[in-house]
Homo-oligomer: A and B are copies of this chain.
Amino acid sequence: MSEAGTRRRPGRPRKERGAGSARASIMRAAAEEFAERGYEGASLRAVARRAGVDPALVHHYFDDKADLFTATLEAPLRPDRAVDLILAGTQHDIGERLVAYLLERLDDEKSGRRMVVILRTALSSGPGTRMVREFLLREVLSKLAGLVGGEDAELRAELAASQLVGLIMTRYALRVEPIAGTPREELARRVGAVVQWHLFGAPGAPLDAEPPTGE
Interface string of A190-215 (1 = CB under 8 A from B): 11011001100101111110111101
Of B116, B136, B170, B210, which contacts A162 at CB under 8 A?
A: B170
| B165→A170 contact, CB < 8 A | yes
Q: Report B-chain residues with C-beta under 8 Å of the C-beta of A133.
A: 174-176
In angstroms, Cα B203 to Cα A213, docked, is 7
Interface string of A12-32 (1 = CB under 8 A from B): 000000000000000000000
In angstroms, Cα B191 to Cα A161, docked, is 12
Q: How many copies does the complex hold?
A: 2
Of B155, B169, B176, B193, which contacts A182 at CB under 8 A?
A: B155
CB distance from A87 to the nearest CB of B (A): 19
Asked whether A103 is an interface residue with its Cβ less than 8 Å from the other chain, the reply is no
Q: Nearest CB to that of A137 among chain B residues?
A: B176
In angstroms, Cα B202 to Cα A207, docked, is 9
Q: Nearest CB to that of A169 among chain B residues?
A: B165
**Which one, A62-70, A78-86, A117-125, is touching chain B?**
A117-125
| B136→A194 contact, CB < 8 A | no
Say whether chain A's binding surface is mostly helix, strand, loop, or mixed. helix
Query: How many residues of chain A get a CB closer than 8 Å to chain B's CBs?
Result: 53
| A169→B169 contact, CB < 8 A | yes
| B120→A116 contact, CB < 8 A | no
In angstroms, Cα B152 to Cα A211, docked, is 14
Asked whether A164 is an interface residue with its Cβ less than 8 Å from the other chain, the reply is yes
Q: Report B-chain residues with C-beta under 8 Å of the C-beta of A136.
A: 174, 176
Which positions 102-120 of chain A face chain B at CB distance < 8 Å?
Answer: 116, 119-120
Q: Report B-chain residues with C-beta under 8 Å of the C-beta of A154.
A: 177-178
Which positions 144-168 of chain A face chain B at CB distance < 8 Å?
Answer: 152, 154-155, 158-159, 161-167
Task: Give 8 pairs: A residue, B residue, CB < 8 Å, sorted on A.
Answer: A119-B169, A120-B124, A129-B174, A132-B174, A158-B176, A162-B166, A162-B169, A204-B211
Beyond A116-B123, A161-B166, A166-B166, list 6 extra A-B contacts (CB 8 Å). A119-B169, A122-B169, A155-B190, A158-B179, A203-B207, A206-B206
